[in-house]
Amino acid sequence: MGSLMLHYAGLSYLPPSQLRFLPSFGVICSSAEQVSLSRRKALEKVDEELAKGDEKAALSLVKELQGKPGGLRCFGAARQVPQRLYTLDELKLNGIETTSLLSPVDATLGAIERNLQLAAVLGGVSAWNVFGLTPQQIFFLSLGLLFLWTFESVSFNGGVSSLILDTIGHTFSQKYHNRHEAGHFLIAYLVGILPRGYTLSSLEALKKEGSLNLQAGTAFVDFEFLEEVNGGKVSATTLNRFSCIALAGVATEYLLFGCAEGGLADINKLDMLLKGLGFTQKKADSQVRWSVLSTILLLRRHETARARLAEAMTAGESVGSCIETIEDAIGNDDI
C-alpha cells in the first residue's frame, strides 16, 4: 500500500482537473504497522536473551522501551491505591471477602484424589470377585502397593502422585486448566517486574526442567530483588511489587470463581518473607490488605488483557509474545 491514495468522493460531478490528492489513512496505518513491527522485533530479542539466560540484558532491552510511544507503555505503569492501613470493612466495600481469597482449599485436586482412591477400592473388590483372590494374596498385594507409595514419597517427594493428579486435573477440569498463572504474569508486568518464563502444569514443568518436584508457575527476572534480600534490606517499592505478584494468582481465582483453590504456597512464601523482615502481625496485615486491594482493582480494570493473556499462555506463546498481547489489549486511557 502506498503512502498516498486518491479520494474519489464526488467524481461524477468534478472534472479530472479539479481532483485533489489527499493524505490517506494508509499513512497512519503504515506508521502503526512500523511501530508494531519494531516492538515485535525488540521483544523477539528479549526472548533470545531470556533463552540464553542473560536476564540483565533482557531487562535492559525492556527498560529501553518502557513508557515510550509505540514501545512498552504498560511495563511498570500500574496505577495502585494509596498505601495505608485498610480495614476489613473497607475491603468488603470493594467486594472483597478475604476469607475466600486468603484461605485457598484445592477442592479440584482433592475431589480427583478422593475419586481415585474410591476407584482403587472398587477395583480391588472387583479383582477379588473376578480372580478369586485369597485373603493372603490381597494382603501381599496391599503390602506391595504400600511399599510403592512409600518409595515414591521418599524418593520423589510425592512428585509422581502430584504429577498424576495435576495432569488429570488439567485434562478433565476446565476450571483447573484456567488457573491463575496469567494473573501472576500480568500483575508482574504492570508493576515493573519482567516475567522470564512460565509453565501451566506439572507435566510441562517436567518437560522443561526435568524435575518431578516442580509445579505450574511463573518465573521472574528478580535479581534486583534477590540483591536486596541478600543485603538484608528490602525497599518498600520492591516489597509492594512482590506482594502484589504473590497474591495475583489467588486474586485471579477469586475474581473468576468466587474463591481461591490454588496459591497456598504463594501466600506462605509472602508470610515467610514478611516474618523474615521482622514485620509485626499488624504491619504484615496492613501490607497484605493493601496488596489484596491493589491487585484486585488492577485485575478488574484489566480483565480483558488477563483473558487474552491466558489464551496466549495456553497456546504456549513466548514471553515476548505474551507481553505484546498485554500491550495490544490495554488502551492508552486504561493504563
| CATH number, domain with residue 277 | 1.20.58
Q: Examine the domain organization and report whether 237 and 309 are in the same domain.
A: yes
**Res 219 pLDDT > 70:** yes
The pLDDT confidence band at residue 230, using thresholds 50, 70 and 90, is confident
Q: Which backbone phi and psi does 287 adopt, to 5 degrees?
A: -65, -45
Mean pLDDT over 153-158 rounds to: 52
The pLDDT confidence band at residue 144, using thresholds 50, 70 and 90, is low
Closest CA to 313 of 202, 193, 177: 177
Percentage of residues of the chain with pLDDT beyond 90: 47
The pLDDT confidence band at residue 14, using thresholds 50, 70 and 90, is very low
- Residue 205 near residue 211 (C-beta atoms within 8 A): yes
Q: Is residue 53 part of a domain?
A: no
142 compared with 298, residue with greater pLDDT: 298
Q: What is the pLDDT of residues 100-110, one digit of tens each?
A: 888 876 655 55
**Domain final residue pick, 172, 204, 219:** 172
Q: Examine the domain organization and report whether 256 and 181 are in the same domain.
A: yes
187 compared with 27, residue with greater pLDDT: 187
Q: Examine the domain organization and report whether 124 and 255 are in the same domain.
A: no
Q: What pLDDT is stored for residue 142 in this prediction?
A: 67
Q: Is residue 168 part of a domain?
A: yes
Q: Examine the domain organization and report whether 257 and 278 are in the same domain.
A: yes
Q: Examine the domain organization and report whether 151 and 119 are in the same domain.
A: yes
Q: Give the N- to C-terminal CA distance of the chain in Å, as an integer.
A: 32
Mean pLDDT over 103-132 rounds to: 61
Contacts of 264 (CB under 8 A, 6+ apart): 104, 106
Q: What pLDDT is stored for residue 175 in this prediction?
A: 54
**Domain final residue pick, 139, 156, 172:** 172
Containing structural domain, residue 315: 88-104+177-330
The pLDDT confidence band at residue 279, using thresholds 50, 70 and 90, is very high
CA distance 271 to 249: 15
**Res 93 pLDDT > 90:** yes
Reading the block at residue 164, the C-alpha cell is 498424576
Q: What pLDDT is stored for residue 333 in this prediction?
A: 80
Q: Is residue 72 part of a domain?
A: no
Angle at 73 between CA 70 and CA 74, to 5 degrees: 145
Q: Examine the domain organization and report whether 126 and 256 are in the same domain.
A: no
Q: What pLDDT is stored for residue 78 in this prediction?
A: 94
92 compared with 259, residue with greater pLDDT: 92
- The highest-confidence range among 107-111, 137-141, 147-151, 237-241, by mean pLDDT, is 237-241
Q: Is residue 100 part of a domain?
A: yes
Q: Which backbone phi and psi does 207 adopt, to 5 degrees?
A: -65, -40
- Asked which of 7-16, 174-183, 193-202, 296-305 is least confident by mean pLDDT, the reply is 7-16
CA distance 127 to 129: 5
**Res 157 pLDDT > 60:** no
Q: What pLDDT is stored for residue 203 in this prediction?
A: 62
Q: Which ranges of the chain does DSSP label H, i.e. alpha helix?
A: 25-52, 55-65, 88-93, 98-102, 107-131, 135-155, 159-172, 174-177, 181-191, 202-209, 223-230, 236-257, 264-276, 281-301, 303-314, 319-329
Tell if the pTM clears 0.85, that is, is over it: no
Q: Examine the domain organization and report whether 196 and 148 are in the same domain.
A: no
The pLDDT confidence band at residue 3, using thresholds 50, 70 and 90, is very low
Q: Is the dihedral of CA 81, 87, 91, 94 positive or negative?
A: negative
**DSSP β-ladder status, 195-199 and 217-220:** antiparallel
Mean pLDDT over 273-296 rounds to: 94
Q: What is the pLDDT of residues 38-87, one digit of tens each?
A: 899 999 999 999 999 999 999 999 999 998 888 999 999 999 999 999 99
**Res 127 pLDDT > 90:** no
**Domain final residue pick, 153, 172, 191:** 172
Mean pLDDT over 174-191 rounds to: 82
Mean pLDDT over 118-137 rounds to: 65
Q: Is residue 4 part of a domain?
A: no
CA distance 247 to 100: 13
Count up the domains in the chain and report the number: 2
Q: What pLDDT is stored for residue 126 in this prediction?
A: 67
* Partners of 199 in the β-ladder: 217
Q: Is residue 64 part of a domain?
A: no
Q: Examine the domain organization and report whether 270 and 122 are in the same domain.
A: no
Q: Examine the domain organization and report whether 279 and 158 are in the same domain.
A: no
Q: Examine the domain organization and report whether 118 and 266 are in the same domain.
A: no
Reading the block at residue 89, the C-alpha cell is 470493612
Q: Examine the domain organization and report whether 298 and 165 are in the same domain.
A: no
Q: Is residue 31 part of a domain?
A: no
Instruction: State the burial class of residue 194 (Cβ atoms within 10 Å of its Cβ: 0-12, 13-18, 19+).
Output: buried
Q: Is the dihedral of CA 307, 309, 313, 316 positive or negative?
A: positive
Q: Is residue 154 part of a domain?
A: yes
Q: Examine the domain organization and report whether 97 and 181 are in the same domain.
A: yes
Q: Is the dihedral of CA 305, 307, 311, 316 positive or negative?
A: positive
